[in-house]
């Protein structure tokens, strides 16, 4: 699972060398999983899932059944959540999306 495009905004804002052949895809969430598959020589499906805060959990909906039914009985699942721009965290706080203590409360009913 991957969500947010803060890195792309930062990268394009601070590009010292100007636009390169990798500018369009270098920070794209949709390309990240393909890059990792290439680096680790993985074959098979390579899918980026963006469902905001639940991206990694939603990605597991795809990975677990595949691992159970594929001939290799394996899948790699990664979740990424980086808040690099302070204004994003501030917007989440103002919207009431963060716990008062700043700790993660995944799947917490309260």
DSSP 23-85: TTTTT-HHHHHHHHHHHHT--S-------GGGHHHHHHHHHHHHHHHSTT-------B----S
Mean pLDDT over 24-47 rounds to 85
**Does residue 33 carry a pLDDT above 70?**
yes
Mean pLDDT of the chain: 81
Please report the pLDDT score of residue 40 as a whole number: 92
Q: Which of 28, 35, 40 is nearest to 2 (CA)?
A: 28
pLDDT tens by residue, 90-108? 888 888 888 888 776 777 7
Where exactly are the structural domains of the chain? 6-83
pTM for the complete prediction? 0.67
């Amino acid at each position: 699972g991957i969500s947010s495009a803060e890195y792309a905004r930062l990268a394009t804002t601070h590009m010292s060398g100007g636009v390169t052949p990798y500018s369009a895809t270098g920070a794209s969430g949709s390309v990240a999983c393909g890059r990792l598959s290439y680096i680790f020589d993985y074959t098979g499906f390579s899918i980026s899932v963006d469902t905001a805060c639940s991206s990694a959990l939603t990605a597991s909906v795809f990975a677990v059944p595949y691992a159970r039914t594929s001939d290799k009985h394996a899948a790699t699942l990664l979740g990424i959540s980086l808040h690099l721009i302070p204004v994003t965290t501030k917007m989440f706080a103002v919207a009431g999306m963060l716990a008062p203590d700043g700790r993660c409360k995944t799947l917490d009913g309260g």
